[in-house]
A and B are shown apart, each in its own frame.
Chain A
Amino acid sequence: MNLPSKIIEDFPVLRQTVDGKRLVYLDSANTSQKPQCVIDAMTNYYETINANVHRGSYRLAVQATDALEGARAKVAQFINAGSAAEVVFTKNATEAMNLLARTWGHANLGESDVVVLSEMEHHANIVPWHMLAAEKGFELRWIPVGPEGRLQLDSLDRLLDGATLLSVTAMSNVLGTINPIPELADAAHRHGALISVDASQYVPHVATDVQAMGADFLVFTGHKLLGPTGIGVLWGRPELLEAMPPFLGGGEMILNVTKEGFTTADVPWKFEAGTPMVAEAVGLAAAVDYLNVLGMDEIRAHETKLTAYAMRCLKSRYADTITIHGPSEPAERGGVLSFEFGDVHPHDVAQVLDEAGICVRAGHHCAKPLMRVLGVPASSRASLYLYNNESDVDALADALERADEIFSL
């Protein structure tokens, strides 16, 4: 089954023009556009329900609480979590990773410990560990990135020897590489380590089953998943979440407070101090509903086909000029196409594309260690989602001719 061709009409932003040209949005790895149903769900929440959660005894407050907890249950089901209590709402994936580092990491990592990352991590899965390592003195090790932007796993056993945690991305935000999480989870567990998965680029595009993955923790963000900004998720195995100390202190996260101290609420609320992001949770739930109706497998199939088309199209038109990073086999990657266009700097590529109404990202994509491995200071990145189609790719390919013209060096 294919995705409906009129899908673009569900996304108000994509209906607009830029200087009379159709807006071509190729930056969904950065943030996705929102379908009308997500916008409506949030507006409807504010127009008909809005009340604070977990405290009022009146009907509106009960409805607001139900909306928040209903969203949690929906998200839990979307990633096949064992229960809704395993889903902690955070501000975004970055906060989820910091929560993990500041609570589990703080309680469990010391001088003799080792945290293993990969060279293709986003800064959000690097800096929290750098920050904690500076305090706790544990060692960081790195799984190298090899040919075609794949993890080089021949040294994995050596790297995991004595490790406490492996924290790795499920899909690179630069290379598109899909990493073999079940295999990595098995290896981590064999060495007595836990595995946390940065699934920010994965959950929006591929049907996700945290249990089948063998993950211990998994983080992602709502806004790359057709949902609003301001909401992310930390999923964890229940016994691990139970044992973790709380994150921020305040209302919502306590069972009791006295002048002498406090006791914490149950999981997941003990990690959610303060008034939570209720409208955002409602929006995220609407996004999950929307994705479920289309079907994650159909979305993945559409994107794989479109990725294959894009790689073929760009390589055939700019054989001598373009270098696309990451796996050459579309089935092994997501629709994230980072590329070098001759000697034209990515900033200039993005500028020329902008004139044609095409949105791409240029820069280091918050993955500076990876850029160093790739031997480039920056790249241009076109990233695809369910609302993109071949005409978007054609527009990109056409507009690159202008870059060729202006910068023919």
Chain B
Amino acid sequence: MPGLEDLYREIILDHYRSPRNRGELVVPPAARAEGFNPLCGDEIVVYIDVDDEGTIRDIAIGGQGCSISQSSASMMSAAVKGHTVEEARQLISAFKSMMSIHENDLDDVDDHEDHTEIETVELGDLDALRGVVKFPVRIKCATLSWNTLIQALDEVAATS
């Protein structure tokens, strides 16, 4: 049975206490997307400002939620800011792959390093969220902001 220390890593609590890139951006030029978790009522708003070269110049996070959804959003914002849309999409897929449950992995996620996508992309601080997989009901908390970022990127792609 996983313990709370698997979930509430210090770095997660740090991002929860001091969220990065919190706020709003002016729309337009920024794109805005909203995500909801109807189960618990968490709401995330993601603003991204992408320049003509396809670089995410700025990102801001609004809304409210639990420590996992808020810290995940904060780490995500720090990880994609200044990077290209293409890099962001790679990171999204690596993160979502880490969050996807493979039934056999449930007991010992740490022992399985066979997710090839994860290995090719540097997750950095985000790796602290790996423990969330052991708490299946919280996975949606961790992925909420990422799914919302996808919407925002799609928005940018549709309007550019």
What residues on A are CB-neighbors of B135 within 8 Å? Answer: 351
Contact between B41 and A348, CB atoms less than 8 A apart: no
Is B141 close to A, CB under 8 A? Answer: yes
Q: Select from chain B the residue with minimum beta-carbon distance to A345.
A: B66
Q: Select from chain A the residue with minimum beta-carbon distance to B8.
A: A406
Within the complex, the shortest CB–CB distance from A366 to chain B, in Å, comes to: 10
Contact between A363 and B4, CB atoms less than 8 A apart: no
Within the complex, the shortest CB–CB distance from B104 to chain A, in Å, comes to: 22
Contact between A363 and B40, CB atoms less than 8 A apart: yes
Is B67 close to A, CB under 8 A? Answer: yes
Once the chains are docked, how many angstroms separate the CA of A154 from the CA of B68?
A: 43
What residues on A are CB-neighbors of B68 within 8 Å? Answer: 347-348
- Contact pattern, A 362-381, Cβ under 8 Å of B = 1, otherwise 0: 11100010010000011000
What residues on B are CB-neighbors of A347 within 8 Å? Answer: 40, 42, 65-68, 138, 141
Contact between A407 and B40, CB atoms less than 8 A apart: no
Interface of B, helix, strand, loop or mixed by DSSP: mixed
Is B13 close to A, CB under 8 A? Answer: yes
Within the complex, the shortest CB–CB distance from B70 to chain A, in Å, comes to: 8
Within the complex, the shortest CB–CB distance from B144 to chain A, in Å, comes to: 11
What residues on A are CB-neighbors of B138 within 8 Å? Answer: 347, 351
Q: Select from chain B the residue with minimum beta-carbon distance to A19.
A: B1
Is A293 close to B, CB under 8 A? Answer: no
What residues on B are CB-neighbors of A407 within 8 Å? Answer: 13, 67
Which residues between 348 and 367 of chain A lie within 8 Å of chain B, taking CB atoms?
348, 351-352, 355, 362-364
Is A212 close to B, CB under 8 A? Answer: no
Q: A364-B40, A402-B4 are in contact. List 8 more A-B contacts (CB 8 A).
A: A19-B1, A345-B65, A347-B65, A347-B68, A363-B40, A363-B41, A364-B41, A368-B41
Cross-chain pairs A/B with CB under 8 angstroms, 11 sampled? A19-B1, A345-B70, A347-B66, A347-B67, A347-B68, A348-B67, A351-B135, A363-B39, A363-B40, A402-B4, A406-B13
A interface list, Cβ under 8 A from B = 19, 345-348, 351-352, 355, 362-364, 368, 371, 377-378, 402, 406-407, 409
What 6 pairs between A and B have smallest CB-CB spacing? A347-B66, A345-B66, A364-B41, A363-B40, A378-B41, A348-B67
